[in-house]
Amino acid sequence: MGRRRRKTYTELEQGVQQPVCAGELQEWPAAIYARLSVENSGKDDKGESIEGQTELCRDYIEEHPYLHLYDTYIDNGWTGTNTDRPAFQRLLGDIEKGKVKALVIKDFSRFSRDYIEAGNLLENVFPCLGVRFISVADRYDSFETDGSSESLLIPLKNLINSYYSIDISRKVATAIQARQLAAAYIPSMIPYGYIKSRTQEYRFEPDPETRDVVARIFQMRIDGVPLNRIAGTLQAEGIPSPGKLRYLRGTTTDKRYADSRWSAQLVKQILRNPTYLGNLVFGRMPTALYLGKPKYQSEFDESKWRILKGMHEPLVTREVFDKAGAMAERGRKAWEERLAKGAERRAADIPLFRGILFCGDCGSQMRYSRCYHDGKIHGSYYCGAYDYGRCAGRHTISQEKMKKIVWQSMQDQMLLYCEYRKIPELLQNKGGSGQLEECRKELQSLSVQINSRRAKRERLYEDFTDGILSPEEYMAVKKKYDDEYQELSAKANEVQARMIRLKKSFSSGNPWLKSMGMLEGKTEVTMELVTALIDRLTIYQDGDGGLRLEIEYKYREDAALLESAREELEGGTD
């Protein structure tokens, strides 16, 4: 494929545009660029999808108030090995016209895989046009560097190293799979009930201490004992769980396993593991960097498992294994039937606070349960960690009580809203905020210092070329000026961000005012209000046995800025 004409870049480099001055207050019109190649187009690949890329970039822009989204440019199904991409060319055109002053991407690979072309854009063209380049995943922001080629080297090296690591991961995984199929490998996680064979390499043999426990688990399940009751029985009898046994035997030093307990999920994993039929099973807990799985993850699709049959002594017969599997299937169907039967009731009782309500003692997310009494549904929240001995109490509280407490708190917020909504107009009548003026003065001072460091660096190079400084002296002093330049630029960035945050918070567009305005005309807590207003709820157990609820609202910083503005208007600050 053809490349974009190099002379176009040269023409831009010879233009009269000047780099952005750090001393000017900038509200950067930002563009998001996202790209997927043909082979990945349309796939959900954990962040690489178009939706994943754009969402990450939008979140970044929302977190940085000096950035304002101008447009989103998407090349779906286009290779990154050249710049002949429709959206990319449209983006460059808008940059040339001055419509875009900041470009936000997920990572360097989405921008271009032609590193010569990318380097020319990043090192020459964008600085010339005063364009700020931000790579979110690489934590690179050109505004916080001196624009030299050295400043681009680290993220580019990281990108190359990342692809090198992925390539190595693919090769290693392929080699391991070949050894697995040749029966010259065993899973790193030895299944409960077995130990490494002492007589044959790459084989298991039954563990004298736990083999009978496995057989008992299968028999209990065939007898109709529920999974949670099996787990409770084993725990009550003091039989170490698989994790705790590994800790006690020293095969793991992770203290999380010191108090590991039996659970229904653990029992379920044992009941569906073909290892107990005498097979070597691979792929149940895959890990591979090139697959996007840097850590062990359970693979529930049994068709992806690799099974070698008859490799060691079985602990259960095929008949027992199949009967336990049939019990699991009947249990699954019964559960689905109960879910379908109770769907209408559940729809009438929505857990308003699930997902944002946490236990203040152990930090666990509170669970929700329903019971039916007197023909009515009664829902309540409780700490599930208590059942596993990881929390001091259940902290049970009904949803109705939660609604009353939260509604009272929202009424208090409504009173503040009625008071604070007048502040933007009062500030405008006053002629502005003193806090903004302080930021302007600080930004001007930083601008002078930045320009001073820039001038010193230029004179430093002249002294070096004139022979006044040795190469060693030049590099030492240059590093000092570069460090100071970057530090001052970062401070200017922070002050600029604060100025824009203040301007937004001291206007009618204050996010806290806009969200709290939703309370007008409301008479009770709704899911819409909870989602829009509340960030987190934490429930604590007081010393006298009572419960205390802590409510954290969204946009708290914007509310605090309005409070500071009110103090300023009342004469509390200059």
The pLDDT of residue 115:
60
Residue with tokens 């101008």: 70
- Determine, yes or no, domain membership for 347: no
The residue that leads in pLDDT, 375 or 213, is 213
Q: Supply 439's token pair.
A: 């930021």
- Determine, yes or no, domain membership for 567: no
Lowest mean pLDDT among 156-160, 405-409, 547-551: 156-160
- 306-308 vs 280-282, strand pairing mode: antiparallel
The pLDDT of residue 39:
45
Q: Following CA atoms 485, 491, 492, 495 in sequence, which dihedral angle do they give, to the nearest 10 degrees? A: 180
Q: What is the mean pLDDT of residues 266-295?
A: 72
> Are 65 and 130 members of one domain?
yes
Q: 289 falls in which pLDDT band (50, 70, 90)?
A: very low
The pLDDT of residue 192:
92
Report which of 488, 329, 505, 310 is spatially closest to residue 427, judged by C-alpha positions. 505
Question: How many CB atoms sit inside 10 A of residue 29's CB?
Answer: 16
- Determine, yes or no, domain membership for 403: no
The pLDDT of residue 210:
94
| String of DSSP letters for 479-532 | HHHHHHHHHHHHHHHHHHHHHHHHHHHTSTT-HHHHHHGGGTT--S--HHHHHH
In the chain, what are the helix, strand and coil shares in percent, each to the nearest 5?
Answer: 55, 15, 35
Q: 387 falls in which pLDDT band (50, 70, 90)?
A: confident
Q: What is the mean pLDDT of residues 524-547?
A: 89
Q: What is the CATH number of the domain that holds 311?
A: 3.90.1750.20
- Determine, yes or no, domain membership for 408: no
- Determine, yes or no, domain membership for 550: no
> Are 259 and 114 members of one domain?
no
- For 554-564, letters b (16+ CB in 10 Å) and e give bbeebbebbeb
Q: Supply φ then ψ for residue 537, to 5 degrees.
A: -120, 135
E strands in 336-465? 357-359, 367-373, 376-382, 397-398
Element (H, E) at 280: strand 280-282
The residue that leads in pLDDT, 148 or 223, is 223
pLDDT at 149 over 80: no
Cα dihedral sign, 498-502-508-512:
positive
The residue that leads in pLDDT, 276 or 290, is 276
**Which residues constitute the domain of residue 140?**
6-166
The pLDDT of residue 72:
94
Q: What is the mean pLDDT of residues 422-451?
A: 86
> Are 101 and 153 members of one domain?
yes
pLDDT at 278 over 60: yes
The pLDDT of residue 203:
87
Say how many CA atoms lie within 13 Å of 539 toward its Cβ: 30
Note whether 278 and 316 are within 8 A (CB): no
As a whole number, the mean pLDDT across the chain is: 80
pLDDT at 161 over 70: no
> Are 155 and 16 members of one domain?
yes
Q: 381 falls in which pLDDT band (50, 70, 90)?
A: very high
The residue that leads in pLDDT, 499 or 123, is 499
Question: How many CB atoms sit inside 10 A of residue 460's CB?
Answer: 18
The residue that leads in pLDDT, 27 or 429, is 429
195 secondary structure, DSSP code = E
> Are 115 and 24 members of one domain?
yes
The pLDDT of residue 9:
32
Cα-based angle 230, 232, 234 (whole degrees, multiple of 5): 70
pLDDT at 151 over 60: no
- Determine, yes or no, domain membership for 474: no
- Determine, yes or no, domain membership for 315: yes
The pLDDT of residue 479:
85
> Are 290 and 231 members of one domain?
yes
Q: What is the CATH number of the domain that holds 122?
A: 3.40.50.1390
- The total number of structural domains in the chain stands at 2
- Determine, yes or no, domain membership for 76: yes
Burial class of residue 281 in the structure, from the number of CB atoms within 10 Å of its CB (0-12 exposed, 13-18 middle, 19+ buried): buried
Q: What is the mean pLDDT of residues 101-107?
A: 91
Taking only the tens place, the pLDDT of each residue in 163-215 is 655 565 566 566 656 666 666 667 777 889 999 888 888 888 999 999 999 99
Q: What is the mean pLDDT of residues 82-90?
A: 85
The pLDDT of residue 208:
94
> Are 198 and 160 members of one domain?
no
> Are 162 and 200 members of one domain?
no
> Are 108 and 35 members of one domain?
yes
> Of 337, 359, 377, which residue constitutes the final position of a domain?
337
% residues pLDDT > 90 (the chain): 28
- Give the distance from CA 478 to its chain's centroid: 38
pLDDT at 45 over 50: no
> Of 304, 337, 370, which residue constitutes the final position of a domain?
337
> Are 48 and 150 members of one domain?
yes
Taking only the tens place, the pLDDT of each residue in 475-510 is 888 888 888 888 888 888 788 878 877 888 888 888
The pLDDT of residue 468:
85
Q: What is the mean pLDDT of residues 281-298?
A: 54
> Are 131 and 217 members of one domain?
no
> Of 279, 312, 337, which residue constitutes the final position of a domain?
337
Cα dihedral sign, 82-86-92-95:
negative
Q: 553 falls in which pLDDT band (50, 70, 90)?
A: very high
Q: 19 falls in which pLDDT band (50, 70, 90)?
A: very low
> Are 203 and 282 members of one domain?
yes
